[in-house]
Amino acid sequence: MTTVFEARADQAAPESGKGRWIERWEPDDAAFWAATGKRIAVRNLMFSVLTEHLGFCVWLLWSIAVLNLPKGMFTTSQVLWLTTTPNLVGALIRIPYTFAPARFGGRNWTVVSGLLLLIPTGLFVYAVENLDSLPFGVLLLIAATTGLGGGNFASSMANITHFYPASKQGLPLGLNAAGGNLGTSVTQLCMPPLIVAFGLVAVGWVWMPLVLLAAAGSYFFMNNLRTATTAYTVGEMVSICGRAQTWIMSVLYIGTFGSFIGYAFSFGVLIKAQFPDVKGANFIWLGAFVGSFARPVGGWLADRFGGARVTMIVFFAMTAGIGAVAYAVEAGNWALFLGAFLFVFAATGLGNGSTYRMIPAIFRIQALSRADATDEAAVARASAAGRRHAAAAIGICSAVGALGGVLIQQAFRISIETTKGIAPALIGLAVFYALCMITTWALYLRKRGITAAETGRSSLAEAGV
C-alpha cells in the first residue's frame, strides 16, 4: 500500500525527460530525505567533487610550472605574479559562477564549467612549447586563464548546498570542498615525476582526457533542481552585500580559505626563498594534502559542536602555528618550519569546514527570527529565504576569501622584496588570526553579543551556529 508521502517522494525523485530536471525537492523533510533525497544528493555530490577537483588541479598549474622554468628566466617577483594572477582571477570569477547553477541548472553548469578547463590546459601547452618567444605579459595572461578552475569551487558549493538538509550540510560541504582542495595537492605531488619523464608540457596534456570524462559523467549522472533556479536574484545578492554578517564571515573566510589557498600557491616559492638547499618539489604537496583532508573534519566537528566554537579554536591554533613558522625562519630550522607550516595548513582546513557550516546556519536563524513561529507557512517561507540568502552569501564569501589568498601572496612578495625574508609577513598574519579569534568570540559566542542580539538569542552558539 502506497502512503501519501511515498507518492510525493516518487513525484520528486524521478528526473524529467528533458535535461534531468527534478521538479520537487524537499531535503529538510526527514521522510523525503530518507526515502529518496539522500541517494540523489550523494550521486550529485560525487560528480561535483570530481569536477571541482579537476578545477583545482588546473588552477594550480603555474605553481608547479614556475618551479621548473629555466633558472634565472624570471625574478622572484615575476614568479610570484605568475602564481598570484590565477588566484586573483579565480577569486573574481567566483561571483558570476555562484549565479550559474541557479541560472542554468547545477548539472548543466557543471558540464560547461568542466569543459571550460580545456582552455587553460591547451594554452599552458602552447606557452611551454613557445616559452622563449613569448613576452612575460602574454605568459601572465595565459596563467590568468587557469583562474577558471578556481571559479568551479563557488558554483559547486552553491549547487550542493541545495541538495542537503540545513542540519546536515557541514559534512557534505566539507567533503565537496575537500575533494576540490585536494586537487592542489594532487597537482603538486603528481606533476614533478611526470615532468621528469615527459617534460613540463605534459602538465597541460594530462588533464584534458580527465576533464572530458568528468564532463561526460556530470552530463549523464547529475541533476538540475527546479527549486534552485529561483535560489536568488541579482537584487538579493546586492541585498546580501548590505548585511553585516556577509562581510564578517568574509573576513573570517579570508583567515581560513584565504590562508589555505595563499599558502598553497606560495609554499614552493617560500621554501625556495628561505631554504634554497631544500628541494621544494618534494614537500610542497604536503600542505594542501593535510589541509584538504582536515576540511571535512572541520565540517563534521562544526555539525557536532557548533561552527563558531570550532572556528575560534582554529584561529587560536593558527596564531600559535604561524608564530612557530616565524621562529623557524629566524632560526633557520627546516624541520620546525615544515612541521609548523603543516600544522597551520591543517588548521586552515578545519577552519574552512567550520566557517562554511556557519554561513547557512547564521542566515537561516536570521530569517526564522523574523517569522511567526506559530505560522507553519511563514516558517517554511523564512527557511527557504534563509537558504537563498546563505547561497548568495557563500558566493560572496568564497570570492572574498580567495582574494584574501592574493593578499597573502602579495604580503610575502613585499616582505621578500623589502627585507629579503618572510618573517614580517608571518608576524602580520599572526596578528590577523588573533583578531579573527577575538571577533568570532565577541560576535558568535559571547553572551548577548551584537550578532546574537540581532536574532534575540543569548548566544548564536546556542542556536547551533
Residue 7 lies in a domain: no
Is the separation of the CB atoms in 373 and 379 below 8 Å? yes
**Does residue 374 register a pLDDT over 80?**
no
Residue 322 has pLDDT above 70, yes or no: yes
What is the model's pLDDT at position 369? Answer: 77
> Across 89-103, 115-129, 221-235, which has the greatest mean pLDDT?
115-129
CA-wise closest residue to 371 among 299, 276, 456, 247: 456
pLDDT confidence of residue 216: 97
Q: Give the span between the Cα atoms of 387 and 390, in whole angstroms.
A: 5
Residue 444 lies in a domain: yes
Q: Where are the alpha helices (DSSP H) in 4-65?
A: 4-12, 30-32, 38-59, 61-65
CATH number at residue 43: 1.20.1250.20
Task: Using alpha carbons, list the distances in angstroms from residue 162 to 26, 220, 229, 250.
Answer: 9, 20, 10, 21
Examine residue 4 and state whether it is found in any structural domain, yes or no: no
Measured distance CA(298)–CA(257) in Å, rounded: 12
Which percentage of the chain shows pLDDT scores above 90?
43
CB 326 within 8 A of CB 314: no
> What phi and psi values does residue 347 have, to the nearest 5 degrees?
-65, -40
How many domains, in total, are found in the chain? 1
Residue 3: HSE in the Cβ half-sphere, 13 Å Cα cutoff: 6
* Sign for the pseudo-dihedral over CA of 154, 157, 160, 164: negative
Query: If residue 280 lies in a helix (H) or strand (E), which one and from where to where?
Result: none
Q: Does the pLDDT value for residue 230 go beyond 70? A: no
Q: What is the pLDDT of residues 338-372, one digit of tens each?
A: 999 999 999 999 999 899 888 888 888 888 777 77
Task: Please give the Cα distance from 91 to 165 (Å, whole number).
Answer: 27
Query: Which is nearest to 387 in space by CA: 155, 171, 231, 249?
Result: 231
Residues 6+ apart with CB under 8 A from 54: 114, 117, 149, 152, 183, 207, 210, 211, 214
CA atoms within 13 A on the CB side of 251: 14
pLDDT-derived band at 124 (thresholds 50, 70, 90) equals: very high
Let me know how long the chain is: 465
Highest-pLDDT range among 14-18, 29-33, 164-168, 322-326? 322-326
- How would you classify residue 155: left for phi > 0, otherwise alpha for psi between -120 and 50, otherwise beta? alpha
User: Residues 201-218: what's their mean pLDDT?
Assistant: 95
23-37, 78-92, 234-248 — which is least confidently predicted?
Answer: 234-248
- Does residue 262 fall inside a structural domain? yes
The chain-wide mean pLDDT, for the chain, equals 85
Is 45 inside a domain boundary? yes
**In the predicted model, what is the mean pLDDT of residues 319-336?**
95
Angle between helices 136-145 and 147-161 (to 10 degrees): 20
pLDDT of residue 87: 85
Angle formed by the axes of helices 234-241 and 376-419, nearest 10°: 60
Band (pLDDT 50/70/90 cuts) for residue 464 is: low
Residue 223: its pLDDT value, please? 95
**CA distance linking residue 87 with residue 271, whole number of Å:** 19
C-alpha cell, 167? 542540519
Mean pLDDT of 158-165: 87
Q: pLDDT at residue 233 above 70? A: no
pLDDT at 6 over 60: no
Quick check: 463 pLDDT over 60? Answer: no
Q: 3-state DSSP call for residue 21?
A: strand
Rounding to the nearest 10 degrees, give the CA dihedral for residues 127, 132, 133, 134.
40
In whole angstroms, what is the distance from residue 348 CA to residue 298 CA? 9
- Quote the CA–CA distance of 366 and 83 in Å, as a whole number: 39
The answer to whether 97 and 154 have CB atoms below 8 angstroms apart is: yes
DSSP-derived letter for residue 22 is E
Q: Does residue 258 form part of some domain?
A: yes
pLDDT of residue 12: 46
Give me the amino acid identity at 392: A
Whether residue 354 lies inside any domain: the answer is yes
Q: Which of 65-79, 237-251, 426-440 has the lowest mean pLDDT?
A: 65-79
**296 within some domain:** yes
Say if residue 298's pLDDT is above 50: yes
Q: Are 120 and 148 in contact (CB under 8 A)?
A: yes
Query: Percent of the chain at pLDDT above 70?
Result: 90
Q: Is 194 exposed, middle or buried (0-12, 13-18, 19+ CB in 10 A)?
A: middle
90 CB-near residues (< 8 Å, 6+ apart): 59, 146, 147, 148, 149, 150, 151, 153, 402
Buried/exposed code over 33-63 (b: 16+ C-beta within 10 A; e: otherwise): bebbbbebbeebbbbbbbbbbbbbbbbbbbb
Structural domain boundaries enclosing 407: 29-463
**Residue closest to 85 by CA, chosen among 64, 60, 68:** 60
